[in-house]
Amino acid sequence: MVWISRACLRKYGNFVDNIRLYVRGGSGGMGLPRLGGNGGNGGDVCVVAKKGTTLKQIKDKHPNKRFIAGVGSNSCIHALRGAKGEDTQVFTPTGISVTTDGGRILGELNCEGDRLLVARGGHGGSLHSGFLPSKGQTRQIRLDLKLIADLGLVGFPNAGKSSLLTALSHAKPKIASYPFTTLRPEIGKIMYDDHKQVSVADLPGLIEGAHVNKGMGHKFLKHVERTKQLMFVVDVCGFQLASNTPFRSAFETVLLLTKELELYKEELLDKPAILVINKMDLPEAQGQLRELEAHLENQEESSHIFPEDVTPKTLMRFMHIVPVSATTGLGLPLLKSLIRQSLEEQDVIETEGQRSEKLLKLRREVPTSSIPSWGFPQPT
């Protein structure tokens, strides 16, 4: 056990999913009162999303984590209008939310090339300011990485999440028979014959009590906040973390996972979800599956049998329940097509929702007086 936790620390130390930076816009340049010259404005500090960058690179390249933009030039006889100070750009991966130290959200960088101004440069000295320049904006900001994927894998350690991702995609996450093999979120891509791709985020296993920071805590759950759908992965034969912790059946693990999500952020339970029952190749799997299915059919009643500390307030409604074996490949083609089907269905619902929202907005924006009496039917 000691060995595992040391290994965890070593590996986890490599992954950075948030970072705090000091950013300061450049000061403006001095104006020239004698000739009415304006000093140049100070440069700005911007955060820019760029492919292939990581927060770790920022940490390694800028150990003091300070980003200060250039100072504006002073106005002088040869150049009455001083030049603007040089802008500073902080390159980050996509999927970053930027907040101030006080928790105010400054913006999000979701697509390559997205840019956010985080510290404005000061104004150059001008007639307005008595030719005195102003200082640039100073801030402590926090960059928080939340992976963007179509599907987020949620499960207890050892359920076979990484094995499943390997079997479904070209990803090569680490797989092993001890818990907490996956120590940092990883993205894999499921490829379809027509070149359609679905991205899947493999996350470290959750354990009960994650909300009180047990195991790796809720730290990684933020990564499923932005995935479109969830995929619960459970071991059909249940799970036991250690000999001194209770054994949990497959149904209990479903309840406990739901509870952990609920305690982290209730809205996560509104996401469409698929339940994957893994390890169907094990000899006792069929019997266990029948038991699990019986419970899932009557989730409400079944959940009352279990103690309160296991049961969530709201139960998860799964769109599909798919028994599979990541080892033998059983059920994987079906799972692959159900994943695609449910994502496409969600897209249709969302597009229709957006369209009717736009129409409603347009209707509100067009004043009733501008609608000709012979035109649209008048509201009654």
Ligand X SMILES: Nc1nc2c(ncn2[C@@H]2O[C@H](COP(=O)(O)OP(=O)(O)OP(=O)(O)O)[C@@H](O)[C@H]2O)c(=O)[nH]1
Footprint of ligand X on this chain (CB under 6 A)? 155, 157-163, 175-177, 179-182, 204-205, 278-279, 281-282, 325-327
Closest distance between Mg ion and the C-beta of residue 15, in Å? Answer: 14
Distance in angstroms (rounded) separating the CA atoms of residues 220 and 232: 15
For ligand X, the nearest residue by Cβ is: 205
Closest distance between Mg ion and the C-beta of residue 328, in Å? Answer: 19
Closest distance between ligand X and the C-beta of residue 278, in Å? Answer: 5
Near Mg ion in 135-174, by CB under 5 A: 161-162
Closest distance between Mg ion and the C-beta of residue 259, in Å? Answer: 21
Q: How many residues does the chain have?
A: 380
Strand, coil or helix: 217: coil
10 Å CB burial of residue 154 (0-12, 13-18, 19+) is buried
82 vs 204, which CB is nearer to ligand X? 204
Q: Which residues of 170-183 are buried (b: 16+ CB within 10 A; e: fewer)?
A: ebebebeeebbbbb
Closest distance between Mg ion and the C-beta of residue 161, in Å? Answer: 5
What residues have CB less than 8 Å from 260, skipping those under 6 apart?
A: 206, 208, 210, 211, 218, 221
Q: Residue from 27, 38, 94, 182 that binds Mg ion (CB under 5 A)? A: 182
Structure tokens at 137: 């904006």
Closest distance between ligand X and the C-beta of residue 366, in Å? Answer: 54
End-to-end CA distance of the chain: 72
349 binds, among Mg ion, ligand X, none (CB under 5 to 8 A by kind): none
Count of CA atoms in the C-beta half-sphere (13 A) of 377: 2
71 vs 274, which CB is nearer to Mg ion? 274
279 binds, among ligand X, Mg ion, none (CB under 5 to 8 A by kind): ligand X
Interhelix angle 332-365/161-168, nearest 10 degrees: 90
105 vs 176, which CB is nearer to ligand X? 176
Q: Applying CB under 5 A, what is the total number of residues that bind Mg ion?
A: 4
Handedness of CA 279, 263, 229, 168 (dihedral sign): negative
72 vs 155, which CB is nearer to ligand X? 155
- Span of 20-28, 100-108, 175-183, 208-216 interacting with Mg ion by CB under 5 A: 175-183
Query: Does 181 engage in binding with Mg ion (CB under 5 A)?
Result: yes
Can you give the binding site for Mg ion, defined by CB under 5 A?
Answer: 161-162, 181-182
